[in-house]
Structure 1
């Protein structure tokens, strides 16, 4: 099945470059380009793509707000692109519903890989972004967890969320819980559905925000 993509960046050469790279990949089709956030939201509404690549800094509507509108109104998944490796952008983009966050110096093969990973329902962060996100939480003062948010989870699902928050893969979770990877996928799906989360990145955020994992706690 072909992955349909919208590329949004206010710099025409950058936008065209990303679109060309992706169009050359088997199984990926760029269905629209956009020069600002408003155009990006409209392109997603019109073409119903699987993935939208959004520059953080765009006129009229920035990438984070465009991501928030797209995530709220469609099943399209978003990958944020920026030249700025800044904590505030990482956190706000993920809170807005982004499933991926890459720097613009990403290699062409890694860009295509990110689109495929996100389209498959997973989440992806550049390694430097992941490190900064963890550091962001570790530096924050402890906040009392929202009362009862995790009560909808079974004991095993809470264990699964805890291990997701520690960054474990499905295979690693399966080993830790002594179950099959298929069972882990089922647990992960239940966790995401019950808590209204889009993907594993938001599950990590939830694990910290609810106090299931304390800032600075050992992995």
Structure 2
């Protein structure tokens, strides 16, 4: 979704199909700063791609993250702890610094009572006007009212959402508008919670459930048991 938003893929596709051509300038990622909120398995994987494929500087934050843990994650992914410029490959920073300095902010955080509304008016106002915000994690991590206000004002360049606080997205949701990206409004790219909807993933889930039934019948331990 980062690439689709940065390269304006959806808008250009729609433009061509309605008789137009290029809709707007694309945003290059090379050398830009990627702010990763949540450096777990998924967040770290995105950070690794940003670093290796695009030469992005990686800044990361979570409530329990420190530089030692960030270095440990870099090593786990086969990366050096320091890049060729002498900077930390995964730089642990404050939440305030991440939102203020990142060119792209991507969320990979667990939703809980404490993290609900993690991104609100304060964080959105801190972001660069040229920045992109991407959420493929959980909709309620962002204060939706605040985000709609920021997008309507164009206070960030673009927003990409695969998750929403209310799903399926209501028919009258402002996110369904065709006016995004026009006037002073932010670009908006929305997808219907498709991050996990992939043949391989779903097939593996179903196969594991079938195996777990057999294991339960045979009196064996259940795979990936939560409780």
TM-score in terms of structure 2 length: 0.32
Greater Rg over alpha carbons, structure: 2
